[in-house]
Amino acid sequence: MKFYDCSTAPSPRRARIFIAEKGLEIETVDISIADGAQLSDEFRAINPGCTLPALVLDDGAVLVTTAGIWAYLEDAHPNPPLMGATADEKGRIADVRYLIEANGFAAMAEALRNSTPRMKGRALPGPDDYEQISELADRGKVRVQRFMDRVDAMIGDKAFVAGGSYTVADIDLMILIDFAKWLKMGLPEDAPNARRWYEAVSSRPSAKL
Amino acid sequence: MKFYDCSTAPSPRRARIFIAEKGLEIETVDISIADGAQLSDEFRAINPGCTLPALVLDDGAVLVTTAGIWAYLEDAHPNPPLMGATADEKGRIADVRYLIEANGFAAMAEALRNSTPRMKGRALPGPDDYEQISELADRGKVRVQRFMDRVDAMIGDKAFVAGGSYTVADIDLMILIDFAKWLKMGLPEDAPNARRWYEAVSSRPSAKL
């Protein structure tokens, strides 16, 4: 297997932390999005969609989304389970993960990609160029703040966001909170459950990656 | 179990077809989005996120996303598998599904919700109101068309979009194509693989739902 990573971007970090939490070691190639290397002919030959992360399997098949990489590795290396062991857990974790990705992660990407000067003309990832939309940046920020205001209640008195064990939903939520710092946004001051949880997940060795 | 559905919306249809393909019969309640019933106090007590579909499990737990409902039912009722039986299949299906949802479904929702007069002030699903952004409607249409232009190559000579058997990726792609008709968009004329595939999946009994 070969893992195509980008050490500065939030999406590849989701796969990177997952790999570490599984205790796997996979040959890794860093592709610099800052240098536009994801748009090079060389990388297009691996992923014509020009996005990271990507995972090339031993038979040459290529997975080009975090969703695909997680699903593959969870089945090929089931322990420790990061996506649930029972039907109830799998359903709940997929549910929480979707809410974090759709209401948090996607909103943060909208806010950042539509406002930061170095992403002019690159408001969406992928091979096609799209102009920034300033109203979308503003809406994204409003959505991120609303999401952050709800994290404390999402965590409640649970050890982790989807229940008693560490899962992909924790990976998503921790990366979202770190990602939001790019726009100087984050958890509200008065969020004791969320802050207790964030400190715990951030102190795991995988979080340094 | 109790399934909260909305017969006129594309997202709940994803769960509805999945349930039918599994051969399950689940007590179903229709919530009319056209009447705003998803914002009623009664439905908020079930899903404070005010979105459909939702599935209430026998122990009272509630799944509020298609992702969660699919993950739960796939594990609880594994046959026929709709999300893959091996690690390779699970990875590939999750990958294709993500690409359809992020590049197709999300773009279509952007195009429609930001342009149609009856969604004024409701540009996103959920409890919060957001104004329409006309530039986003325009961008969404461009993205949907680009996605449609690529479907023929995605299908290629395969029987189904993620390989040799019918999966959740086929459910997503078929519903996207039907959804796009709302904006008079669709597959290009010269797309023989995509049209052969669309005819096959649309003739399944579940597609009538």
pLDDT tens digit sequence for A165-192: 999 999 999 999 999 999 999 999 999 9
Give me the residues of A, 22-51, that contact B with CB < 8 A.
49
Share of chain B above pLDDT 90, in %: 100
Supply the DSSP symbol for A128: S
What is the CATH code for A87-208? 1.20.1050.10
Q: Are A198 and A187 in contact (CB under 8 A)?
A: yes
User: How would you classify residue B92: left for phi > 0, otherwise alpha for psi between -120 and 50, otherwise beta?
Assistant: alpha
Pairing of strands B54-56, B2-5: antiparallel
B85 CB within 8 Å of a chain A CB: no
Q: Which of residues 184-203 of A touch B (CB under 8 A)?
A: none
Put simply, the chain B residues between 102 and 131 with a CB less than 8 A from any chain A CB are 102-103, 106, 124, 126, 128, 130
Check residue A110 and give its pLDDT: 96
* Per-residue pLDDT, B193: 98
Give the mutation candidate from B1, B86, B95 for the A interface (greatest A CB count, under 10 A): B95
Q: Quick one: fold of B2-76?
A: Glutaredoxin (3.40.30)
The mean of the pLDDT values for chain B is 97
Nearest to A69 among B75, B91, B135 (CB): B91
Pick from B76, B91, B146: CB nearest A87: B76
- The pLDDT of residue A55 is 98
Torsion angle defined by CA atoms of residues A66, B103, A102 and A140, in that order, rounded to the nearest 10 degrees: 120
Give me the mean pLDDT over the B59-70 stretch.
Answer: 98
pLDDT confidence tier of residue B1, bands split at 50, 70 and 90? very high
- Residue B58 burial (CB < 10 Å; 0-12/13-18/19+)? exposed
Q: Categorize the per-residue pLDDT at A4 as very low, low, confident or very high, splitting at 50, 70 and 90.
A: very high
Distance from CA of B63 to the nearest CA of A (A): 6
Say if CB A172 and CB A181 are below 8 A apart: no
Rounded to whole angstroms, the Cα distance separating A145 from B4 reads 29
pLDDT of residue A88: 98
Q: Which residue has the tokens 């909103």?
A: A107
- Asked if A128 lies within 8 A of B135 by C-beta distance, the reply is no
Predicted model pTM: 0.97
Confidence of residue B154 (pLDDT cuts 50, 70, 90): very high
pLDDT of residue B122: 94
Q: Half-sphere exposure of residue A51, counting CA atoms within 13 Å on the CB side?
A: 22
pLDDT of amino acid B164: 96
Measured in whole angstroms, the distance separating CA A126 from the mean position of its chain's CA atoms is 16
Burial A136-158 (b: 16+ CB within 10 A, else e): bbebbbebbbebbebbbebbeee
Q: Would you tell me which residues 133-172 of chain B have a C-beta closer than 8 angstroms to some C-beta of chain A?
A: 133, 135-136, 139, 143, 146
Q: Which of B90, B100, B168 to mutate to test the interface with A (most CBs of A within 10 A)?
A: B90
Q: Categorize the per-residue pLDDT at A100 as very low, low, confident or very high, splitting at 50, 70 and 90.
A: very high
Q: Which residue, chain included where needed, has tokens 């993500």?
A: B98
Taking Cα atoms as reference points, which of A162, A164, A159, A149 lies closest to residue A103?
A149
Each residue of A5-27: pLDDT tens digit?
999 999 999 999 999 999 999 99
Topology match between the domains B2-76 and B87-208: no
Q: Are A187 and A195 in contact (CB under 8 A)?
A: yes
pLDDT band at A72; cut points 50, 70, 90: very high
For chain A, what is the mean pLDDT? 97
Predicted local distance difference test score (pLDDT) of residue B75: 98
pLDDT at A49: 94
- How far is the alpha carbon of B95 from chain A, nearest alpha carbon, in Å? 4
pLDDT at position A56: 98
CB B68 within 8 A of CB A95: yes
pLDDT of the residue at A103? 96
Structure confidence at residue B196 (pLDDT): 98
What's the one-letter identity of residue A197? Answer: W
| Facing residue for A76 by CB, picked from B87, B102, B143 | B87
Provide the pLDDT for residue A155.
98
pLDDT at B206: 98
Beta-carbon contacts below 8 Å between A and B: 126
**pLDDT, tens digit (0-9, with 9 covering 90-100), for A146-165:** 999 999 999 999 999 999 99
**Cβ distance of B61 and A93 shorter than 8 Å:** no
Side-chain-side CA neighbours of A195 within 13 Å: the count stands at 7
Q: Looking at the complex, does the CB of residue A72 fall below 8 Å from at least one CB of chain B? A: yes
* Contact check, Cβ <8 Å, A94/B72: yes
Residue B149: pLDDT band by 50, 70, 90 thresholds? Answer: very high
Compute the distance between CA of residue A113 and CA of residue B13 in angstroms, rounded to an integer. Answer: 31
Sorted by where each begins, the domain ranges of chain A are: 2-76, 87-208
Note whether B167 and B84 are within 8 A (CB).
yes
pLDDT at res. A203: 98
